[in-house]
Amino acid sequence: MTNDPQFHLFDQLPTELRLAVWRECLSHRVVELDYAWDEGAYLVILPTPCELRKTTKINRRPPIISWVCRESRLIAFEASHCLDMDSEPHLNTRWSSDLRLKKLRINPSRDAIHLNWTPCYEPSYQYSGSALDCLAWNAASLKGRGSLMFDYLDNAFDGEAPIEDRIEALQRLKNGAVVMRIIVVHTTFEKAMKSGLFGLLGDAPIQLVDISDEVRIGALMDFAERCESEIKGSIIKKQDFHRDSVESVKTILKGKLSKHFLPKEPRHYLTYIPP
């Protein structure tokens, strides 16, 4: 009898079983279409609690298992593909911006795609086309798994696309989500991994959490608040960790939705882990 938690006979398992284990190690990730503009993401909260661009860079790193061995690396990349936004004319036509990422690696069976851009970005960054249409087009290959910021539901819209085209774009987000709030978790990779809140191996730094999943939201909030309380001197502005009730969030969202839009339910919180 031994207390050794390691399984030393893994390399002796049949190849098919080892590959199946590696596949189970892959996380469900949120792929960002663009960099978040800190002032735009927080809007009225200045100074902002964190530089969200750093999180985007961390989120673009390959899965952890791609660093383990040749076999795991094969699994990490077999189901994903790299999308070069600049080499795809139809994507450039849909939306181009200073903040849009040039390359995305997407796993169609597991990933969701998120748009940080909102109308308040327009005065500060160049763009052409419709960011929402670009989101909907990319989400179509992910079974409609796409999310946008709550501020996108304001009275102002980006680009010159008519409202009919925007309605059609929103309808394509069959499993779409509206991000109501951003919570930043200031922690280390090791602590994030051990928490079990950011994928099996801690390599899913952005989490979309259903507003009705109060247990998971509570766990993330408690973890974020605890991590922030342990940091001394490096926090620009402390966050407000109050909990919103499901009904209050639904009321806010329904009050914002135009009659032109589908009655989508509030679905998620968005949590970032900066370095």
Lateral strand order in the sheet of 268-272:
30-32, 112-115, 146-149, 177-184, 268-272, 207-210
pLDDT of residue 221: 94
Map out the domains of the chain as residue ranges.
13-272
Nearest to residue 235, comparing CAs of 245, 244, 225, 223? 225
pLDDT of residue 43: 53
Nearest to residue 31, comparing CAs of 112, 126, 116? 112
pLDDT of residue 272: 44
Residue-wise pLDDT for 79-131, tens only, equals 788 888 777 656 555 788 889 998 888 999 999 999 998 887 877 888 888 88
Between CA 96 and CA 161 the distance in angstroms is: 14
Task: Output b/e per residue, 231-247; b: 16+ Cβ within 10 A.
Answer: eeeeeeeebeeeeeeee
Q: Which residues of the chain have pLDDT under 50?
A: 1, 158, 263-275
- Name the one residue in this structure whose structure tokens are 């009050």: 255
CB 213, CB 110: distance < 8 Å: no
pLDDT of residue 268: 46
Please tell me the pTM assigned to this model.
0.83
Mean pLDDT over all residues of the chain? Answer: 80
Please name the residue ranges forming H helices in 156-245: 163-171, 189-195, 214-230
CA 207 to chain centre: 6
pLDDT of residue 273: 43
